[in-house]
Structure 1
Amino acid sequence: MDNGPAPRTVAELGEFGVIERITRDRRASPAESIGPGDDAAVLAAPDGRVVVTTDMLVQDRHFRLDWSDPDDIGHKAIAQNAADIAAMGARVTGFVVALACPPDTTLDFVDRLNKGMSDEAARADGAIVGGDLVQAPILVISITAMGDLGDRAPVLRSGARPGDVVAVAGTLGRSDAGWAALRAGRRDLTDVIDAHRAPRPPYAAGITAADRGATAMSDVSDSLLADLGHIATASGVAIDVALSALADPVLDAAARELEADARQWVLTGGEDHALAATFPPDVALPEGWTTIGRVEAGAGVTVDGAAWSGNSGWQSFTV
């Protein structure tokens, strides 16, 4: 049976042909004066400071091709970097993408990956301004994101003070629940699976938090407990979380279906890329932020006044 011509691959088109293909109809960043095509891009930095972060996704470690479409992988790759920029109280100006892939990777796969990245970059109000393409035995995506503070002070992890309130913007635990659903073969649990495949961080909430006087902030990439732990350690304080403030009917429904504990997902699940921040007690929280706890004197993170036993979140060098 003739199935027609085989899909074209990156090896057939070549490095520069693929680069030309994926930049042909590219959206430009508002901060960009020179984009792809020269040895480097040039971005405006009106604030005089540049916020920079980088992150990497490795096939079968951070995503699986049988679980995620290339569009979703692209969204996720950009989201985890843009969330770090937002967590500093900055606005994204541009992304540089380095892609390593096998030579038999199809052009359709690269097109869809690029579309996912480009769409999420636009949602973060930025654009892909350059990058690199190399051959590798598996798919690896490395992204550097840049941002501008707009004359704000960066919101660090080290500014929380006793008496501050702890708040979050975005959803928590749904990515971990989606991972559990995929492992269980429950592809019908689309609310949580979609959150795992392509998180949607609340980018604008980082800027509104900075404008409202947030004293410390982090994106929730490793887990709520782990990332609040980073704030507590950097600030030399304790943080207590109220579990009742984290209730999520979507997680509760998924937990019933999977016979799991929704509390574990919301406290120790990673890759939601929500934002967690601390605010002075006399500040009205910006829209989209919900109070979940309080900063106290001491050290560490507790839940309803008690230590949380067991796993506390993602670590890169665990199985």
Structure 2
Amino acid sequence: MSTHGRPQQEGARSDSPRPGTVAAAGEFGLIRTLTRGRTQPSTTLLGPGDDAAVVAASDGRVVATTDVLVQGVHFRLDWSDPEHIGRKAVAVNLADLAAMGAVPTSVLVGIACPPETETTMLAALTDGMWAEAERARAGIIGGDVVGADQLVLSVTALGDLGGRPPVTRSGARPGDVLAICGRLGWAAAGLAVLGRGFRSPVGVVNAQRYPEPAYQAGPAAAIAGATSMIDVSDGLLADLGHLAAASEVGLDVQTARLTVDQRLVDVGTALGADPLRWVLTGGEDHALAATFPSYADLPEGWVQIGTVLLPDTGVTVDGMPYEGDSGWEHWR
């Protein structure tokens, strides 16, 4: 990308960019800073530095997903360290791959930011991206950097099904069991804490700053015979609603089977909030929810929380419709 300022009047002087900013580094200098010394997994045949990357697709198919994270909507720089933001940007995409039963292989990153953005901040942010990709044994294979009025991150992730069919949202059948793998309600509790101006307890605050999806749980569920699966990003009940609609079934969540950690209870007591509501409707933990045949053995880490019912019953909690919002929805 080349950037051009307004034409200067004759005799006028152009202000030099402040040292240490992306404007001073320039597009290609910034790219070199953010990619220097990084390693790649064996699936990356050609990484950053050319017009496009080349990735091995031994399965013959590629699972692809993308997310856009906007400053002030999905993250706040006064709440999260740049490294945490980078981890979150990659994790939310890799969780979608896991929800299809795929193993993550590659990540593409787009960064838009103001010219006065510190290069050290972006370096820390991309450190977080690389760390999260490495945790999933994936590589960051390329991307783009552009100017913008605020920080915006666009991440595309690619995955490999390993010869298996994808696990979609549309395969649940009446009589299946409903199960989850991962934490629920923690990120919502962290958001409530940060929204009140507090920075502790650190466990729930960090859950809001960056999720820790169990990437291996998606392929494990696929191998175990999962009939449908979804990434819980907007809230358990909201995302189960998508699964129920796609599968044309009903789903009942049994609260006695849900875990409400004592730390969530403590935070709820301090803030005058219901921790069970966080578990049922809070987003951004990126746990996985799936349905399995009743005869299947659930993989390690998966816990039954309900059952699949006949169509037209919707998503219920303990057999009753849930009162209030079921989760997050943009523009609502």
TM-score for both structures, normalised by structure 1: 0.97
1:282 partner amino acid:
Y
Match of 1:229 among 241, 244, 267: 241
1:3 maps to which residue? Answer: none
SS of equivalent residue, structure 1 residue 72: helix
Give the Å deviation of 1:220.
0.3
2:318 maps to which residue? Answer: 304
Match of 2:283 among 251, 270, 277: 270
Q: Is the 8 A contact 1:30 1:126 kept in 2?
A: no
Q: Is the 8 A contact 1:30 1:93 kept in 2?
A: no
Query: Aligned equivalents of 2:19 and 2:289: distance in 1?
Result: 44
Q: Deviations over 1:141-186 (max 9, x none)?
A: 0000000100011000000000100000010011111000001122
Where does 1:71-82 land on structure 2 (aligned, <5 Å)?
Answer: 71-82=83-94
Q: Is the 8 A contact 2:238 2:281 kept in 1?
A: yes
Where does 1:288-303 land on structure 2 (aligned, <5 Å)?
Answer: 288-299=301-312, 300-303=314-317
Q: Is the 8 A contact 2:260 2:276 kept in 1?
A: no
Q: Is the 8 A contact 1:29 1:127 kept in 2?
A: yes
2:298 maps to which residue? Answer: 285
Match of 1:241 among 253, 256, 259: 253
Query: Aligned equivalents of 1:152 and 1:173: distance in 2?
Result: 31
Matched, 1:191 2:203: yes
Structure 2: segments with no counterpart, 5+ residues: 1-17
2:331 maps to which residue? Answer: 317
Query: Aligned equivalents of 1:29 and 1:94: distance in 2?
Result: 9
Query: Aligned equivalents of 2:136 and 2:230: distance in 1?
Result: 17
Q: How many residues align?
A: 313
2:171 maps to which residue? Answer: 159
Q: Deviations over 1:224-248 (max 9, x none)?
A: 0011111100001000001121122
Query: Aligned equivalents of 1:306 and 1:174: distance in 2?
Result: 24
1:91 maps to which residue? Answer: 103
Indicate the structure (1 or 2) with the bigger Cα radius of gyration. 2
Give the Å deviation of 1:69.
0.8
Query: Aligned equivalents of 1:25 and 1:172: distance in 2?
Result: 36
Query: Aligned equivalents of 1:70 and 1:29: distance in 2?
Result: 24
Q: Is the 8 A contact 2:100 2:230 kept in 1?
A: yes
Query: Aligned equivalents of 2:122 and 2:92: distance in 1?
Result: 19
Query: Aligned equivalents of 1:191 and 1:258: distance in 2?
Result: 16
Query: Aligned equivalents of 2:259 and 2:93: distance in 1?
Result: 27
Match of 2:230 among 215, 218, 226: 218
Q: Deviations over 1:118-142 (max 9, x none)?
A: 0001111101100000000100000
Q: Is the 8 A contact 1:101 1:140 kept in 2?
A: yes
